[in-house]
Each structure stands twice: as structure tokens, then as C-alpha cells.
Structure 1
């Protein structure tokens, strides 16, 4: 029995064993005992994770894949969760213990997977996975680049992002129309920001919603004082600011609105 890839779930099953092993080997396995694989399909990556000294858990929305995994990976037994990663209470699933995330992520929800991981960043010291190449490059992009945006800044505020390697369409069933890219996120040692973190998210998202405008114009809704808006940082466009400068900008706004 094999599982038929389902278009509505964005399934492209990896069939190259070498690439599956390479992705499994991206994890350092340090400072955590558990790893959660998202969307294992027929378990091509899962079997290489099971060779490591770690507790492997998998979360899969497709009931046909779940049946396949239960029949072929008896040692996973009670660690196969038929659920939607985006709606799951992961902290209670792991009793507030740290865990890594890994997967060959469905393209249609890959950005949402990163945003969800950022919400539970205190639980996730490490994250590796396969994305559409452009999305992986966007997450790892630096200031000044056209692809640098909300996803880049928010991710890199908390994690060190590394683009590892590119994967061609031919190693999937069915082949996607684009190349894929594997990246790794390693949480920074000091990942608590020295500013209001909710405000930081709001500043970054608002700034990039009108990325062609200067911050003086795109952040108008914050009702900032003329004195603050005279700061040279407000003459720049959001893609010109580094992650550190966005943190500094948030601190300036925080002080201004509290006066």
C-alpha cells in the first residue's frame, strides 16, 4: 500500500533517500529530547529520524498517511498525531519541554508554520525543513534585498537562519513546478528582545505593508510625535533596516507613546 499525494493538502512526497537523510542530519539534537515532524506522509524522513537517539513525534492531517504510518512504523505507536499543526496546542503536548521541529513542509502553509513556531519560540530551540525555494530564501534574506520582509525580520529577531541547500523538483512525487530549499533555524541564546515584543511585531508588519514608503509615512497610524518623526531612521524604507534597527525603532516608539 502506498499513499496517493493529495493536491488540496499540498502534498509532494519526497522520494530521494539521500536528501531525506541530509535533512534528518541538519538537527544538532542538543538541549532537547523530542522532535516533531510535520507532514511525514509515508515516512521517508521519519525513518532517518528514528535512527537517532531522540523521541520522534509526527503530526499528520491526512488520515490515509496516518494509517500508513501506523502500519509501517510500529515503534512510533502513540506518537502519531492526526491533527492540524496550525491548530494544535503543542506546549501541552510536550508538557512545556523543549522540542525541535522538522519537515518537508506543505508549500501552501509553510509561512504559517514559521509564524506558529515564532509564537511558541520559548519551546523550540531548533527548526529545520524544506520550503519552496523562494520562501526559504525570504526567511534567510538580509536587509537591502528585495525579498527581505516581515518573515525575514520576525524570524531573524529570534533565530539564526541558514539556507542550507537547494532541492530539484525531480525528487518528489508529484514534482512541484519550482525548486525547493532546505533551511535551518537555531534559536539565539538571548532571544528575549529588549523592547515590547507585541509592539515589535506590529511595527514590522505595519512598516512592510507599504514597503515602498518611508517609515515616516507607513507608520502614521502610531500617532508619533513630530520630535520622534524627525529622527533620520524614519526617512528610511523598511527593507533598509536591519533586525537590530527594527528593535531600536520599536524601543523609540515605545518611549514616545508612553510619554
Structure 2
């Protein structure tokens, strides 16, 4: 693995042959969130993951940011690594970034996977996410994090992993509040549902059956609107499917990109 800083992001690269797999994480985490998924991905393929701007070990360019800024960061990585096209996998905000790349730069995406991703928020869902954004901007990530464990994980997972509550609070406490709010604003105010029909890459949309912020109807809409799509709903999981069901996520990704 070769970590580097390129453009506005910190990149981790696993060398291999064939079409690269590029992983894009969500708000408040880092490339580390893929740890449980990586071992089950094709072992002979190049894998690239990176910390989004304002996350992990990446720089913190001054906000405001837009979805286009995240897309530009992603394209800069591909160009720097000489990658013409990749199998692109995005989670949560990463799923929105991946959608935007596939819409505006279809030649850079061979196959697309979006997990826990947004599309077609209802009016009620828009109100809820904007209210959460307001709390984040007023109170900061740590205070809002106290409600995140219940949103992100099932009670069964929390009972089986009693340290997860403290782990989430610790991670959120370390976040830069300005960067976190800037990234969450992009997540809360971006919806590409009207443009999904432009995605030509074969697309897999997957989410947990209990996901509140990215519920099953969104993955089903993505799959039904893109030119070649299918959806998978993982029973007994909430938003943090990469941690709650890493083997199942890796399985459906493997099936889709191989």
C-alpha cells in the first residue's frame, strides 16, 4: 500500500493488474471504513481509496464546497494515477460523488456501486436532513453524534459491539467541525435523482433495510432510473452497512464488478 497526498485528498493505493476499484467513503469517516470490505474484494485488482477533503489525513481547503469540488478531487486522483476508467464504489456522500462522476464523466466509470446513497428525497426527508444540518452547524459534530449511533446501527449490532457508541463519539469529537459541516451540507442539499437516467454504467444500489437517511426506496429508485441497474436491500442493517454487514457488502460488490 502506498499512501500519498494528491490534490486535496490523501490517497491509499494497493497495486495490482486490471481495472482499478476506487472506493469513496462517506461523511465523518475515512478510507479506514472499508477495512472489513477490502479482504473480500478481488485480490488481483488495483484498489484505490482516499480520505475525502476535510476528512482523515486529507487537507482542509476552506469551504463552502460543492459536489463538483469532490468530483474534481476524484478526477485529479484518477489522472495522477493514470487511471482512465475504474469500477467506482461510493458510500453515503461517496455514493453521491460516484453518481455525479458517472453522470458527468461516464467514460471514467466502468461499473458503479452506490451504498447507502441518496436519490429522490421526499419533502419530509428533506425537512429532516436540513434540520439535522442546522443542528450540526449550530452545535458541532460531537453533540449531534450522540444521536448518530441509533441512526447508524441496529440495536442488535450495538448489543454485540458495546464499544461502538464510544468509538463513534470519539471519532466525531476529533472531526474538524467546519469541514464536517461543509461536507454534510453537500450531502444534505444534493439530490441527483433527476439526472440518474444519464448513468450508462451498470449500477448496483445497495442499502440496509433499516436505513433512515438513505432508505430502501432511494436505492430502488436509483436502480430503476439508471440505464442498467439493480438494487439489493440488506435485511437487519441500518446506515452503517460497511460495518454491520461487511461480508455481504463485499459479496454484492464482488458479484457486480467481476
Bigger-Rg structure (1/2): 1
Length-normalised TM-score, structure 2: 0.36
Q: Which has the higher contact order (CA 8 A, sep 6+)?
A: 2
